[in-house]
Amino acid sequence: MSSKVRDVMTRNVVSVRTYAEFKEILHVLRERHFSAFPVLDEDDRVIGVVSEDDLLVKEARPAGLSGGGILGNRAGRSKAAGLLAGELMTRPAITIGPEATVADAARRMHAHHVKRLPVVTDENRLVGIVSRIDLLGVYDRPDGDIAKEILDEVIEGQFMLERLAFEVKVVSGVVTIRGPVTGQSVALSLLDSVRRVDGVISVRDRLHYPAS
């Protein structure tokens, strides 16, 4: 069964309000050893994220300096002049829901080139935060637990096949599966379900079925 974001997220989240000042933000970043955190509005909704990169814009473009490039555009000039979190933050925040899968979170992080995602409800209220290291934690799972889930919940539970007809071997997250299925479509569907089991790094297909 694929882990949900709620299973791996950190629930005790450090956040700031839009009116937090530059030095206050910097102090929290240093004290908590974070590189970014969510910005909340007056209704406790996530409206942006302020990061080290956002703060560095001010250092990279001293007041009064003009020019092109990233700091020469309107957004760059606004951040360089900003003093409060609401002026410095990147918006909109890239977020995810607690019921999303770990795979969904990984794809979103990769697509948006971010290291963490605020976890929000349907009303955009903050309930946690998930980082890359949280997602990688699902691969730190005993091989025996992985094999048992494949046999119990996938082969027998989902596909209603005779588990004794299959051999499932897991070594360091790499699954080798042997056994008979009725056809290629069943084999492909079974392999796809095995790949979705938490902790599975790759799958070696040793299934056999009648030639079509």
Q: What is the pLDDT of residue 70?
A: 46
Domain end among 138, 164, 191: 138
Question: Which mean pLDDT values do the consecutive 10-residue runs of the chain (212 residues) have?
Answer: 87 91 88 87 92 77 49 54 85 95 90 93 95 88 95 96 97 96 95 92 94 74
Q: What is the pLDDT of residue 181?
A: 97
Contact predicate 91/47, CB 8 Å: yes
Domain end among 104, 138, 172: 138
User: How many structural domains comprise the chain?
Assistant: 2
Q: How many CB atoms lie within 10 A of CB 19?
A: 13
Contact predicate 19/85, CB 8 Å: yes
Q: What is the pLDDT of residue 33?
A: 80
Q: How many CB atoms lie within 10 A of CB 200?
A: 19
Q: What is the pLDDT of residue 30?
A: 85
pTM: 0.69
Q: What is the pLDDT of residue 60?
A: 57
Domain of residue 86, residue span: 5-138
Q: Are residues 12 and 87 in the same domain?
A: yes
**Residue given tokens 């990169």 in the structure block:** 53
Q: What is the pLDDT of residue 120?
A: 97
Q: What is the pLDDT of residue 117?
A: 95
Token duo for residue 31: 């004290």
Q: What is the pLDDT of residue 65?
A: 47
